């Protein structure tokens, strides 16, 4: 039956060629297409070659994931990166975005550089450069050394600004001759919440009644704002360092990443329209407004009050303008309607003063974690157009976009999803949005922060039940390869009868 189903699919695709309405050539020549992973989710080898534990090692090894999984091996990218770069060449990938494990490069959080960690990242970057793949580096993707959490509670202390900047300095010095695209921090607008409000992420701090579990340490009402504040200061200090010390010679740029979703008002009422605008101020403005204007959005200062840290005059001067590009991770849109501001103890979600839902038919919630979502490529288009207009035409990269699928090689739903969202990106470009690139999440199946190895976003399948972690090309990998080659039908001819053209 499987063979019949597969050949039926090929017959259907052959008789009805994919019609995108656009090709790779419709995007500007400088526009780049890529795919992404991150260190903890991809590398594994958590106790090898001098790497120290990160906060995610501690979190997962304590059984905090719902399925008790860990990233100890993950996709084993530490050992398989050369084979994976070959798959990237197979896929005609133009760019690859990965993150650097602070724990692997500087195990003590500061001070001595680990030679084995340095060797790994040099080798990975060299492989990419030798194959003509543009290198995009994320300095921190939700992880940092556990030793810094033990010493001063990580992002809750201003001490991390100096340590993070020193970590970035090592990366710029050692890799900057081959890397021009640096993103400092992944999703500070979500990681601050997941780590310090609801405890979904490491290090898992929260306070009742806001956590998903009964936390023994934390304060959900203030810690997310403190963490994000220090992330903004760390980003600004890092950007200033790069501009003063490296930019003239290396000709690169430094950006920051935010998690993004578009907001639709549930009704045309003034209060719901205002709620939709407030949503954008809390989601985007929280991180980006200081980097453009030097201060937080007025609505945040009003609703959060004294719990929102303030920038000193000198900090504001350093922060303002400290961004060369914006990276966004985008997956879905939200419908929002107004909700009276609670009088009692509030966290970030309550401060937003709205109900949100992933579709008009799902129940509304004051929380910002949807239980389900619907495909809405127009939402990505609107986000890109909004960011271009609201934040002064700063270049934008879609650094993550994708969808999870069942554990199958014939992921036609992912192909349709990617087609539609790439189409939404092109519409935004044609409408004047300053978009410079699009990256699929993820290049291969990785350890997902929400669901471990069960949730599969990859273009390539990874067998997590096999210690060798073999890779298999999914239909989406062949399709993406064909698109990037400007050949719509390419992937049909490349698949063999098993659908596993590329095996490692």
Q: Which residues are catalytic?
A: 187, 400
Strand partners, 334: 263
Tokens, residue 297? 């959005």
Query: How many CB atoms lie under 10 A from the CB of residue 438?
Result: 25
Q: Tokens 């403005």 correspond to what residue?
A: 285
Coil, helix or strand at residue 398: strand
Query: How many CB atoms lie under 10 A from the CB of residue 36?
Result: 28
> For 59, how many CA atoms within 13 A lie in the half-sphere containing its CB?
26
Greatest Cα pair distance in the chain: 69
Tokens, residue 158? 């201003």
The answer to whether the beta carbons of residues 405 and 413 sit under 8 Å apart is: yes
Coil, helix or strand at residue 132: coil
CB burial of 219-249 (b: ≥16 within 10 Å; e: otherwise) equals: bbbbbbbbbbbbbbbbbbbbbbbbeeebbee
Residue 405 φ/ψ, nearest 5 degrees: -140, 170
Backbone conformation region of residue 55, classed left if phi is above 0, alpha if psi is from -120 to 50, else beta: alpha
Coil, helix or strand at residue 119: helix
Tokens, residue 501? 């053209």
Coil, helix or strand at residue 495: coil
Tokens, residue 212? 């998903």
Tokens, residue 143? 């992880």
Of 101, 43, 99, nearest to 76 (Cα)? 43
**β-bridge pairing 354-357 and 396-400:** unpaired
């Amino acid at each position: 039956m499987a063979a019949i189903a597969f050949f039926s699919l090929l017959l259907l695709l052959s008789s009805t060629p994919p019609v995108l309405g656009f090709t790779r050539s419709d995007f500007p020549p400088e526009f780049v297409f890529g795919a992404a992973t991150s260190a903890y989710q991809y590398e594994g080898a958590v106790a090898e070659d001098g790497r120290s534990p990160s906060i995610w090692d501690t979190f997962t090894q304590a059984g905090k994931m719902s399925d008790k999984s860990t990233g100890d091996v993950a996709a084993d990218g530490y050992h398989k990166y050369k084979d994976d770069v070959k798959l990237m060449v197979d896929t005609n990938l133009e760019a690859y975005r990965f993150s650097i494990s602070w724990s692997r490069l500087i195990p003590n959080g500061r001070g001595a550089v680990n030679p084995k960690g340095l060797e790994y990242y040099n080798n990975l970057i060299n492989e990419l450069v030798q194959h003509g793949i543009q290198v995009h580096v994320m300095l921190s993707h939700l992880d940092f050394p556990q030793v810094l959490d033990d010493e001063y509670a990580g992002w809750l202390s201003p001490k991390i600004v100096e340590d993070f900047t020193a970590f970035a300095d090592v990366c710029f010095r050692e890799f900057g001759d081959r890397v021009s695209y640096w993103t400092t921090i992944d999703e500070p607008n979500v990681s601050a919440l997941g780590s310090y409000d609801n405890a979904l992420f490491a290090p898992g701090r929260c306070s009742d009644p806001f956590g998903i579990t009964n936390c023994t340490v934390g304060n959900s009402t203030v810690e997310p704002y403190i963490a994000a504040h220090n992330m903004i200061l760390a980003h600004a200090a890092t950007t200033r360092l790069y501009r003063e010390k490296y930019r003239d010679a290396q000709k690169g740029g430094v950006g920051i990443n935010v998690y993004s979703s578009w907001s639709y008002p549930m009704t045309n009422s003034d209060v719901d329209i205002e709620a939709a605008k407030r949503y954008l101020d809390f989601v985007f403005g929280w991180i980006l407004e200081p980097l453009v204007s030097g201060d937080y959005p007025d609505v945040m200062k009003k609703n959060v009050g004294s719990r929102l840290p303030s920038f000193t005059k000198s900090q504001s001067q350093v922060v303002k303008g400290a961004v060369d590009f914006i990276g966004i991770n985008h997956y879905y849109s939200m419908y929002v309607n107004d909700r009276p501001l609670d009088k009692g103890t509030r966290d970030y979600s309550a401060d937003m003063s709205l109900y949100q839902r992933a579709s008009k038919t799902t129940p509304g919630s004051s929380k910002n974690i949807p239980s389900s979502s619907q495909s809405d490529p127009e939402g990505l288009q609107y986000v890109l157009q909004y960011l271009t207009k609201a934040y002064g035409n700063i270049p934008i990269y879609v650094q993550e976009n994708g969808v999870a699928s069942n554990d199958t090689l014939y992921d036609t739903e992912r192909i349709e999803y990617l087609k539609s969202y790439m189409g939404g990106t092109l519409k935004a470009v044609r409408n004047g949005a300053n978009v410079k690139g699009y990256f699929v999440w993820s290049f291969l199946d990785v350890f997902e922060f929400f669901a471990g190895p069960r949730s599969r976003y990859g273009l390539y399948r990874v067998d997590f039940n096999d210690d060798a972690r073999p890779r298999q090309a999914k239909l989406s990998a062949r399709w993406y390869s064909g698109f990037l080659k400007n050949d719509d039908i390419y992937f049909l001819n490349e698949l063999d009868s098993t659908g596993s053209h590329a095996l490692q």
